Amino acid sequence: MTESPHIVQLDASNFMQIVVEGSDSVPVLVDFWADWCGPCKALSPVLEKLAVEYNGAFVLAMLDTEANPEIAQQLGIRSLPTVKLFRERQLVDEFMGALPEPELRKFLETHVGPPGEAAAPEAEPEPESPVMQAMALQEAGDSAQARAVLQKAQAADPENAEVLLALGQICVADGDLDTAESCLKALPEAQREGAQAKRLGAIVALARESGASEDLVALQAAHAANPDDDETRYRLAIASALAGDVQGGMDHLLVLVQRQPDLNDGAPKAKLLALFDVLGEDPLAGKYRRKLFALLH
pLDDT at 118: 42
CB-based contacts of 218: which residues, under 8 Å, 6+ apart? Answer: none
- Is the Cα dihedral 53, 55, 56, 57 positive or negative? negative
| Per-residue DSSP letter, 59 | E
**pLDDT tens for the 297 residues of the chain, in order:** 678 899 999 999 999 999 999 999 999 999 999 999 989 999 999 999 999 999 999 999 999 999 999 999 989 898 999 999 999 999 999 999 999 999 999 999 999 998 864 444 445 656 678 998 988 888 788 889 999 999 999 999 999 999 999 999 888 878 888 999 999 999 998 888 887 888 888 888 878 876 656 777 889 999 999 999 999 999 999 888 877 788 999 999 999 999 998 998 999 999 998 888 778 777 888 999 999 999 888
pTM: 0.49
Q: Count the alpha carbons within 13 Å of 49 in the hemisphere toward its beta carbon.
A: 18
- C-alpha to C-alpha distance for 135 and 14, rounded to whole angstroms: 31
Catalytic hit among 10, 34, 40, 275 = 40
Active-site residue flag, 183: no
CB-based contacts of 36: which residues, under 8 Å, 6+ apart? Answer: 66, 195, 196, 199, 282
CB-based contacts of 295: which residues, under 8 Å, 6+ apart? Answer: 254, 257, 258
Domains, the chain, with CATH or none: 7-111 (3.40.30.10), 130-210 (1.25.40.10), 216-296 (1.25.40.10)
- Is the Cα dihedral 157, 158, 164, 167 positive or negative? positive
| Per-residue DSSP letter, 264 | T
Rounded to the nearest angstrom, the gap between the alpha carbon of residue 111 and the centroid of all alpha carbons in its chain is: 23
pLDDT at 125: 58
Active-site residue flag, 40: yes
- Nearest CA-CA partner of 150 in 174, 183, 177: 183
Catalytic hit among 8, 18, 29, 37 = 37
130: left (phi over 0), alpha (psi -120 to 50) or beta: alpha
